Structure 1
Amino acid sequence: MEQSRRIKFREDERSLLLRLLLQVASAREPEIAAVLSGRRSLGSLAPGQRIPALQATGVWFQLLTIADELLAMRARRELEQGAGVDEVPGSFASVIAQMAANGHSAQEAQAALNELYVGPTMTAHPTEAKRVTVLEIHRRIYRKLTELDQPRWAPRERDLLVADLESEIELLWMTGELRLERPTVEREIAWGLHFFREVIFEATPQLYAKLQGAFERHYPGEPIRIPSFMRYASWIGGDRDGNPNVTAAVTAHAMAEYRNTAIGWYLAQMQRLVSVLSASSNVIDLPASFEPVLQTALDRSGQADEIAARNPDEPLRQFASALLARLDATRDGSTAAYPSAEAFRADLNALSSVLEAIGGRAVARRFVQPLLWQVGSFGFRTVSLDVRQNSTVVNRVLAELFALANPADPVAAGTPQWSARIRAALSQGEQLEIDAGRLSPEAGELLSTFSVIARHISGSDGDAVGAFVLSMTRSADDLLAVYLLAQYCGLSTAPSGGGTIRLRIVPLFETIADLQAAPGILDGLLGVSLVRRTVRDFGARQEIMLGYSDSNKDGGFLASNWELAKAQKRLAAVGRKHKVRISFFHGRGGSVSRGGAPTGRAIAAQPQGTVAGTMRVTEQGEVVSSKFANRGTGLNQLEILAAGVLAHSVGSPGDVEKKETPEFDEALEALAGMSQASYAGLMAEPGFLAYFNQASPVAELALLKMGSRPDRRFGASGIADLRAIPWVFAWSQNRHLLTGWYGIGSAMSSFITVRGEAGRDLLARMFEHSRFFRLIVDEAEKTLYQSDMEIARLYAGLVSDSDAAGRIHARIGAEYELTRRLIGDLTGGDLSARFPMFKRRFDNLRRQMDDIHRLQVDLLREVRANTGTAEQKRATDALLVSINCISAGLGWTG
C-alpha cells in the first residue's frame, strides 16, 4: 500500500508540475503547450517562437530534476523507516555497523575517525550554466513540493501552496538562463558562498551528529569524540591558471569574503545562543571554577560593565554575550578581537563544559556542539583557498628573477644549470632584493600573489590559505621553482637556510605522460632536504592532485582511469619509501569523462592503500548546484563522501575486491593500451579536427557566458590546447559522448580475439570481482545509453567535407555498436537495464532531447551561414538556449 501511494504521489507530482508549467506557457505562448505535450516539434515553430519553446522545455527539465531530488530523499527516508538506518547504503550507520560486526573496537574506531580528513573543494571552471537567481527559485520550488508532500493540509491550504508553486514556475519562466555578460570572479565567489550560507554551514554539524548517533548505537557506553574532519576548500578566487581575471587583489578579496562569511555566520549563531541561555544564578549553582573564566571573558570583551548590567543574575548569557562582543570585534578588526578561531573554540568548549556541569547536557548538545563543529570545520575562513598556477608561468617568472639578479649569466629552464641553480638557492636560503619597478606585469602579479599568501598565513587563521597547486607539473624542478619563489617572498621559517616553507605545495599531474612520470618526480622531490623538512612540518603528508580531464582527452576513458589507478599505487609506494603519507586530491568533474561517477562507488573503486582516511575532491559547477541545492540532498552527499572515505580506510577482513590481483592488473594494462590505440587512431583520422569543430557547437560555446575563464590556454587553437571542459561539453551537445566510452569495445574485442574463451572468462571474472573494472563498465554503459548515432549523424551533416564526415561518423558508429554488443554480452542484459532509475529518467526526456538536437543542428547552420546579420543574432540567441536545455537534460555540461 505504501509503495502504491508513493508511486501514485510521484505521478501526481509530475502531473502537477506539468499542469502548472502548461498554464504558465499557455498564458504567454499557446503554441508552447503543443511542443511540451509532444503534439508539435520545435522545428515547426516560427523563428520568434523558438526561444520561448526551448525555454519552456528547459524549465520542464529543471522541474523534473527537482522532482527526482524529492523522490530520492523520500526513498531514503522510506528505506530507513522500513529496513533501519544501518541498511541505508552510503550512510555512516552502515559503515559503523560493519565496523562493529567486523570486530573493530571502540578505540580502533576512534583512531580511524582521528585520521579522517575529507576536503570537498569548490571550483569555478566554466561548467556552471545556472545563475544564482535560478538556483534560488529551484530551492523555493523544492521547498513548496516538500510542504505539499505533507498530509496535514486542508484543501484550501493546499490550493494556496499550489498557487505559490505556480508563481515560482512563472518566475523561473520570466528569469531566463542567459547571462548578459561573462560573470566576474567576484560574482563567482558570491555564487560559491551561496551554497555555504544556504546548505553547507548547517549540514556539516548535522553530518557529525549522524556519525555520533551511529557510534553511540553500536558502541554503547564507550566515550567518543567526533573531530571536525570536513575541511572545505575552494579554487574560486585562487585559480589563476590561464585566467588573467584572477589577480592578487582578487585573491585577497576572496579571502576577505570567505573570512567575513564565516564570522558573520557565527555572529548569527551566537546571537541565538545569547537569546536562549536564560539560566539564572538564583536557580542554578555554577561551579566555582567558572567564575574566573567568566570574568576573563568579560574583561577581554571590552564591554564587561555593559554586559553585566544588561544581564544581571544570568552568568551564562553574560558569557555568551562576551563571546559575541569579541566576535564582533574580530569582524571589525578592533582590539577585543579573537587572535584565532581556536581561541573562540576554546571559549565555546568552556561554555559546553559548564552546561554539562550544571546538568544542561541536552542544551549543550543542541546549541553549543553544532557551533563547535562548525568552528572546527570552517574556522575564520569558511574555506581554505588554494592558489593554482601553471608551471610554464612559474618557470618564466623565476627565469626573469634570475636574469635580473645576474644578467651576465642567464639560465634556461629545463637545463642542468637551471636545476643546479634552484637547488643551490634553496639549500643556502638565498634571498633576492627584488625591485618591483623592473618586473614584468606577469612576474609582478605572481610575486604579489605570494605576498598575499604570506600575509594571510600569518593572520588569524593560517588555514585560510590552502595549497599552491602547480598545474602541468612536468619535473621536480617545476615544484622546486615554487619553493624558491615562496622563499624569496618571505614564506621561509629560516631565511638563512635550514628552515621550511610555510606553504603546502601540491603537484597536479594531468596528462597520461605526466601520470606515468609522476612517481619519479615525487621521488626526486622528496630527496631534497628542504622539501623533506617542509613535508614533516605538515604532518609528514604530501598531497598529490590528479587530473581526470586532460588524461581522458589524451587517451580516452579506459586508459585515463587505468593510468590514474596505476599512478596512485606507485605514488603511494614512493611515499612509503620516504616514510611520507601520500594523500590524493581528485580533480573530478560532473561528467563520466571527467571523473564523474556515483561518489560512494567511485571511492570504493580506488586502489587499496591510496585513501588511508584522507581524500580531497573537486566539486565543480553544475555538480555543486545539484549536490547542494537543498539541505537534505547536501547532507546526503556529504555523508556518502565521508562515509565512503571511512569505509575504504577501515576495510573488512576477506574483502577480495581490495586484494592485489596481478592477473586483473595485467589484463587491465592490455585493455587500456588497446583502448588508447583505438582512441588515438580516431584522433589521427584525416579531417578529424574539422569534424570536431564543425559537427559540434564548440566554437559557439564561448558565447555562453558560463565562467570567468577563457576556453583555451595561452591563446592556442588546436585540440591539444583546448581545455578539457569544452572538449567534453562539445561531444555531449552533439550526442556522440565518445569521451565516456570510445575505445572500450575495440579493446575488449582484441582481448577476446587474442586470448579466446579464456579472455572472455577473465573479463567476466573482472566484472564480478573488480570494483574498478565494474565501475568502468557501468559508467560506459550509461554513457552509451545517452549517446545516439542517428542524432550524431545530423551533426555530421554540418561538416563541409561530406566524405570525411561520413568516414569519421561511420568509424564512431562502428565502435559504438561494438561496445554496446560486448558490454551487453558481459552484463547479460539490455543496455542500462541494470540502472532502472537512470534509464527511466533519460527515457522521460529522450523525446524532448532529440527534438532539441534537431533544432540545434538547424540553428548551427543558420548561425554559420548568416555572419554579421540580424538572422545570425536571432539564431545565436536560440542556439544558446538550446545548449542550456541539453545540459539540463543530461544533468551536466563538461
Structure 2
Amino acid sequence: MKQDLVTQLKDTIKYLGATLGETIETELGSEWLHRIEQIRHDGRASANGDEASTQKLAETLASLDNKSLLTIGRAFAQFLNLANIAEQEFNTAATSADTLSLQLTNLLDNSGKEVSEDDIKKAIENLNVDLVLTAHPTEVTRRTNIHKHRELASQLLTLHSTEMSESERARSKTRVADLIAQAWHTEEIRSIRPTPVDEARWGYSVIENSLWEAIPEFMRELDEFLQTRFSQRLPLTAKPVQFSSWMGGDRDGNPFVTASVTQEVLHRARRRAAKLFLEDLHRLYTELSMNKCNDELREKIGDKKEPYRAILKPLIQKLELTREGKVDSKHWIQSTDELLAPLNTCYESLCECNMRVIADGALLDTLRRAHAFGAQLLKLDIRQDSQRHADVFSEITQYLDMGDYNEWSEEEKQAFLLKELSSKRPLVPKNWSPSDDVQEVLDTCEVIANNDKAGFGIYIISMAREPSDVLAVQLLLQEAGVNWPMPVAPLFETLDDLNHSPQAMKALLGIEWYRHYINGRQYVMIGYSDSAKDAGSLAAGWAQYESQEALVNLASENNIQLTLFHGRGGTIGRGGLPAKAAIHSQPPGSLEGGFRVTEQGETIRYKFGMPQLAKRSLSLYASAVVEAVTSPPPAPKAEWRNIITQMANKGRDNYRQTVRHDKDFVPYFRVATPEQELGKLPLGSRPAKRKPQGGIESLRAIPWIFAWAQTRLVLPSWLGVMRAIDSINTTENNPLVQEMIEQWPFFASRISMLDMVFKKADPKISAAYDKRLVPNELSHFGEALRKELTDSIDSLLSITGHEHMMEDDPHGRTSMNIRATYLQPLHYLQIELLDRIRKAEASEFSDNDVETLERAMMVAITGIAVGMRNTG
C-alpha cells in the first residue's frame, strides 16, 4: 500500500470531518462544535489508552441531557459514515491497477505453479459464480443516505483523480458540503421496519446503480484477456457471473414473506428490468441508424430503410408496457429469449456487414446484461423451514385418516412420498380446509407454478436432515402444477446436521426416482451461521469442510454435478472471510460445479456499492475461482486431520461449556450487551427470533453476532478457539501446526480471521460496559471472558510471530485505527444510554424522555455497526 495513498485517505477523512463540523456549527453554533471536538479529542486519547481522557469522556457524557446525547450520537455516527466513504473511495483508487487481466496473467506466469494455458481457458469457459443478494438485517443505513454516500464517494473520486480548474474544484467541494449537509439534516434511522418488498427494491437499486455498469465492464476485461493471451473471444452466451436473490423469497421464520409478497416481488423485478433495458434500447435505437444489413435481418423486417431500428421498435414497445405495468402481465416481456432474439440478430448482421466495431459497442454491453440479468433481473430463491412442509402432509394424512405424517418413521415418509410422486391422481383433497400456515405453503408453490421458471433460482429447505425433507418439496411442487424440475437444495445448518449430511445425501441419491428427476445436477447449501452459533467457529468450520469434502466425493461416485451453496455472513462468527481466502479454503474439487454464495447486508454495499468497487469484487471472485480450480489447495494430510479434529472437538466443548452449560451466561448476555434493545431497531423485515418466546437457542445468528460486536467483545468469533489450539499445540506438535499455517489455506484462513477479530475486540471497552451495567454477582463472568480474550490475543501473536494484530494487513490496521477515534465516544455514549434506559423502565420518565433515549440508542447502535463494518 503506497504511503501517499494512506496520507490521502487520512487527509480526506479530516476534510470530510471538518465539512461536517461546519454543517453542525451552522445549525447548532460554535459552542456545540467545540463540545463535539473536545469529545473527539478525548475519544482519540482514550482509544490510545489514556485513562484520564477515558474518565473525562464518561463524565462529559454523563453530564448531558437526553437530547444532547442524541446530538452527540448523530455527530459521531456521521463521522464514521464519512470515514467509510473515504475508505471506499480509497479502495477504488488503491486497487485500480489490480485488474482481472493482471490477476489472471500472474496466475499463468507464476513459475511456482504448473498452470497451462489450456487449464486457464477451460476454467474461464466453465466459470460459474452465482452471487445471491440477501436482505439479512445488518445493513443499518437507510437507502436515502446510501444514495447520498454514493454521490459523495463519486465526488471524492473526481477531486482526487482528474485535473480540475479552480472553479471546477470549488464546485465539487460545494457539492461535497451539500451532500454532507443533506445527510446531517436527514433522519438516519428508519421510522418503521422495511417490508420484504422494500428490501427487494433495495436489491434492485444495487443492480441499477452499480452492477448494471460493472457487469459489461468486467466482461470486456475478461474478453480482452482472452483475445490478448489466447486470440479467442468470450462467447456471446457466456455468463461467468449471475445474480440471484432471497429478497421476497426467504420465508424461513419471516411471517411477512407471503405468497402474495413473492408474486409482487417477481412482478417488480420484471418491471425494473424493463426500465433498465429500455434505457439501453433507446440508446441503441438512436445509434443503430445504418441501413446495411444481412439477409436474415432483411427477411424479418421487410423493406425498411433503417432495419436495426425497425427490429428494435417492437421490443421497445413491449418493454414500455412491462415497465408501466398497467396492462395484464401476459402482455409483458415474458422471457429473456424475447430480449436476446432481436439483439442477436442485430449483432450478427453488423458483424456480417463489416461493422463489428459498432456491434462491439453499446450493443454488446446490452447483450452481456441480458445474459447476466435476464428479463427477470434476478433469479429469486425460495426458502422455507422443513417442518412447514412436513406440517402440510401431517394435515393431509390426518384428514384422509392415514395417521399423522409427523409421527411416521423416515422409511414410512419416503414410501408415502415416492408413491404419491409416481401417482397420476392429485393428493390434495378438494373440500379440505387447511390451516393458515399450511395454506401459505401451498400458495407459495402455486406462485412458482404460475410464473416463468427463468424467474426462479432454487428452493432451499432450512433445517433439512433427511431425504424425506427434499422429497416433500418435490411432491408439493408437483401437486401445485410446477412442470419443470426446480432444483431443491437441502440446507444443513447445525453441527449434527453437517456431520450427518453425507449420509442423508447418499440415501437421497440412492433413490432411483430422485436420480432421474435431478438429471445429474444437485445443489446443497452449507449453513455457516447456525453451526457456528451451535458449536463455535472452529468446530463449525471443520464440520463444514469435512461435510463438503464428503459431498464432493459422493457426487463424483454418482456422476453428479454438485454445486455447493455457501450461506456465509460478514463476520467470522457467520463464516465470513475475504473472497479469495474463502474460495481457497474450500476442499479440493468443491468448485467444479460452480461457486454460489450469499452476499449479505452491509457487505453488499461495501463490495458492490459503486461500479468500480463492484467490478473489482467481480474480478476478485472470478480470478480466485479460476486459480482455485487450476491450482487447487492441497488435501489435508492425515496428521493435519488428526490435529484439527482434536482442536475442533476441544473448541466445541470449550464453547458449549460457556454458552450452553454455564448458568450465568444468559443472565450476563442479557445485561452486558444491548441484545434486548436491538429488537427495537427497525433493521430488517424479519423478527430477531424464530420463536418469539424462545431464549438464546431461538435467537437468530445475526442479532447474536450483532450484540457482541456492539460491546467489542465479539465473543462468538473466538470463544474457546485459541484455548483449543493451545492445548494441542504442544512442543511435539508445534512444527506440524506451523506447517498447517504455511501450507493449508483452510487453517491459515482461520488464523488470519482471528487476527482481524482480535484487532476489532477491545477488552477495556467491554469492561466499561460491565462496570456500569452488570450486577456484582455476574461481574466475574465478564472478567473471565476478557481474561480468555487477552490470553487468546497473546497466544495468536505467539503462534504467528507477530508483534501486533493485523501486521500482515497494514491497510486494515490503518482503517481500524482511524475509526477507533470515532467509535470510542459512541461506546461510552451507548453505555450511558443503556444505563438511563434501563433505569427509566423502573422509574417515572416522560414519554418524550423515553422516546429520545431510545432514538439515541438506535443512533448509537447504528454508528457502532457502521464503525465495526462487518457486524453481521
Query: Does the alignment reach a TM-score above 0.5?
Result: yes
Alignment partner, residue 305 of structure 1: none
Q: Residue type of the partner of 1:516?
A: N
Alignment partner, residue 35 of structure 1: 36
What is the distance in 1 between the residues matched to 2:706 and 2:232?
53
Displacement after TM superposition at 1:110 (Å): 4.2
Alignment partner, residue 728 of structure 1: 705
> Contact conserved, 2:689 with 2:700, CA < 8 A, in 1?
yes
2:116 to 104, 110, 114: 104
What is the distance in 2 between the residues matched to 1:744 and 1:76?
33
Residues 1:54 and 2:78 are matched in the alignment:
no
2:215 to 183, 187, 204: 204
Residues 1:171 and 2:182 are matched in the alignment:
yes
- Within 5 Å, give how 1:706-717 maps onto structure 2: 706-717=683-694
Q: Residue type of the partner of 2:301?
A: L
> Contact conserved, 1:59 with 1:173, CA < 8 A, in 2?
yes
Change (3 A) 1:36 1:511: farther
Change (3 A) 1:725 1:777: same
- Within 5 Å, give how 1:287-302 maps onto structure 2: 287-295=294-302
What is the distance in 2 between the residues matched to 1:885 and 1:506?
37
Change (3 A) 1:67 1:725: same
Q: Which moved further from structure 2: 235-244 or 31-40? A: 31-40
What is the distance in 2 between the residues matched to 1:48 and 1:337?
52
> Contact conserved, 2:70 with 2:853, CA < 8 A, in 1?
no
Q: Which moved further from structure 2: 201-210 or 767-776? A: 201-210
Residues 1:550 and 2:550 are matched in the alignment:
no
- List per-residue Cα deviations over 1:48-89 (Å, max 9, x = no partner): 211111111111111111111111111122566xxxx754xx
Alignment partner, residue 829 of structure 1: 802
- List per-residue Cα deviations over 1:627-650 (Å, max 9, x = no partner): 221110111112211222222122
Residues 1:663 and 2:634 are matched in the alignment:
no
1:396 to 387, 391, 397: 391
Displacement after TM superposition at 1:736 (Å): 0.8
- List per-residue Cα deviations over 1:736-770 (Å, max 9, x = no partner): 10111111221122113xxx322111111111111
Displacement after TM superposition at 1:422 (Å): 2.2
Q: Residue type of the partner of 2:802?
A: G
Q: Residue type of the partner of 1:502?
A: P
Under a length normalisation based on structure 2, what TM-score does the superposition of the two structures give? 0.92
- Within 5 Å, give how 1:496-507 maps onto structure 2: 502-507=485-490
Aligned to 2:526, what secondary structure does the other structure show?
Answer: strand
In the comparison of the two structures, how many residue pairs are matched? 842
Change (3 A) 1:39 1:109: closer
Change (3 A) 1:574 1:798: farther
Residues 1:529 and 2:503 are matched in the alignment:
no
> Contact conserved, 2:465 with 2:497, CA < 8 A, in 1?
yes
Displacement after TM superposition at 1:803 (Å): 2.8
Q: Residue type of the partner of 1:162?
A: K
Alignment partner, residue 20 of structure 1: 19
- Within 5 Å, give how 1:478-627 maps onto structure 2: 478-491=469-482, 493=483, 502-536=485-519, 540-612=520-592, 614-627=594-607
Displacement after TM superposition at 1:372 (Å): 1.2
Unaligned runs of 5+ in 2: 43-56
Displacement after TM superposition at 1:801 (Å): 4.4
Q: Which moved further from structure 2: 633-642 or 6-15? A: 6-15
What is the distance in 1 between the residues matched to 2:233 and 2:369?
24
Q: Residue type of the partner of 2:459?
A: F
Aligned to 1:181, what secondary structure does the other structure show?
Answer: coil
What is the distance in 2 between the residues matched to 1:893 and 1:397?
37
- List per-residue Cα deviations over 1:642-676 (Å, max 9, x = no partner): 2222221222xxx6x42442221221111111111
Aligned to 1:467, what secondary structure does the other structure show?
Answer: strand
Residues 1:357 and 2:330 are matched in the alignment:
no
> Contact conserved, 1:470 with 1:505, CA < 8 A, in 2?
yes
Displacement after TM superposition at 1:549 (Å): 0.7
Alignment partner, residue 406 of structure 2: 412
Displacement after TM superposition at 1:260 (Å): 1.3
Aligned to 1:667, what secondary structure does the other structure show?
Answer: helix
> Contact conserved, 1:22 with 1:33, CA < 8 A, in 2?
no
Alignment partner, residue 121 of structure 1: 132
Change (3 A) 1:866 1:686: same
What is the distance in 2 between the residues matched to 1:61 and 1:589?
22
Alignment partner, residue 469 of structure 1: 460
Aligned to 2:687, what secondary structure does the other structure show?
Answer: coil
- List per-residue Cα deviations over 1:376-405 (Å, max 9, x = no partner): 11111111111111111111122112222x
Change (3 A) 1:377 1:717: same
> Contact conserved, 1:506 with 1:542, CA < 8 A, in 2?
yes
- List per-residue Cα deviations over 1:694-717 (Å, max 9, x = no partner): 110101101100011011113232
Under a length normalisation based on structure 1, what TM-score does the superposition of the two structures give? 0.90
Displacement after TM superposition at 1:417 (Å): 3.4
> Contact conserved, 2:710 with 2:861, CA < 8 A, in 1?
yes
Alignment partner, residue 879 of structure 1: 857
1:773 to 730, 733, 747: 747
Displacement after TM superposition at 1:373 (Å): 1.3
Q: Residue type of the partner of 1:715?
A: P
> Contact conserved, 1:96 with 1:218, CA < 8 A, in 2?
no
What is the distance in 2 between the residues matched to 1:350 and 1:126?
44
1:325 to 309, 317, 327: 317
> Contact conserved, 2:672 with 2:774, CA < 8 A, in 1?
no
Displacement after TM superposition at 1:208 (Å): 1.1
What is the distance in 2 between the residues matched to 1:843 and 1:110?
42
Change (3 A) 1:7 1:685: closer
What is the distance in 2 between the residues matched to 1:582 and 1:759?
36
Alignment partner, residue 746 of structure 1: 723
2:206 to 182, 191, 195: 195
RMSD: 2.3
Q: Which moved further from structure 2: 564-573 or 833-842? A: 833-842
Aligned to 1:508, what secondary structure does the other structure show?
Answer: strand
- Within 5 Å, give how 1:80-91 maps onto structure 2: 87=102, 91=103
Aligned to 1:253, what secondary structure does the other structure show?
Answer: helix
What is the distance in 2 between the residues matched to 1:707 and 1:803?
35
What is the distance in 1 between the residues matched to 2:373 and 2:672?
46
Q: Residue type of the partner of 2:615?
A: L
> Contact conserved, 1:326 with 1:338, CA < 8 A, in 2?
yes
Alignment partner, residue 299 of structure 1: none
Aligned to 1:610, what secondary structure does the other structure show?
Answer: coil
Aligned to 2:732, what secondary structure does the other structure show?
Answer: helix
How high is the sequence identity, in percent, across the aligned residues? 27
> Contact conserved, 1:236 with 1:385, CA < 8 A, in 2?
yes
What is the distance in 2 between the residues matched to 1:512 and 1:4?
45
> Contact conserved, 1:541 with 1:582, CA < 8 A, in 2?
yes
- List per-residue Cα deviations over 1:806-838 (Å, max 9, x = no partner): 1x2232122212211221112111222222111
2:650 to 652, 661, 674: 674
Residues 1:136 and 2:137 are matched in the alignment:
no
- List per-residue Cα deviations over 1:340-395 (Å, max 9, x = no partner): 31243132112111111222111111121111111111111111111111111111
What is the distance in 1 between the residues matched to 2:322 and 2:357?
29
Alignment partner, residue 809 of structure 1: 782
What is the distance in 1 between the residues matched to 2:5 and 2:618?
26
1:228 to 223, 232, 239: 239
Aligned to 1:175, what secondary structure does the other structure show?
Answer: coil
Displacement after TM superposition at 1:850 (Å): 2.4
Alignment partner, residue 301 of structure 1: none
Aligned to 1:758, what secondary structure does the other structure show?
Answer: coil
What is the distance in 2 between the residues matched to 1:424 and 1:161?
70
> Contact conserved, 2:467 with 2:505, CA < 8 A, in 1?
yes
2:615 to 623, 631, 635: 635
Displacement after TM superposition at 1:339 (Å): 5.4
Change (3 A) 1:117 1:98: farther
What is the distance in 1 between the residues matched to 2:639 and 2:427?
55
Unaligned runs of 5+ in 1: 296-307, 494-500
Alignment partner, residue 793 of structure 2: 820
Change (3 A) 1:99 1:316: farther
> Contact conserved, 2:130 with 2:244, CA < 8 A, in 1?
yes
Change (3 A) 1:245 1:740: same
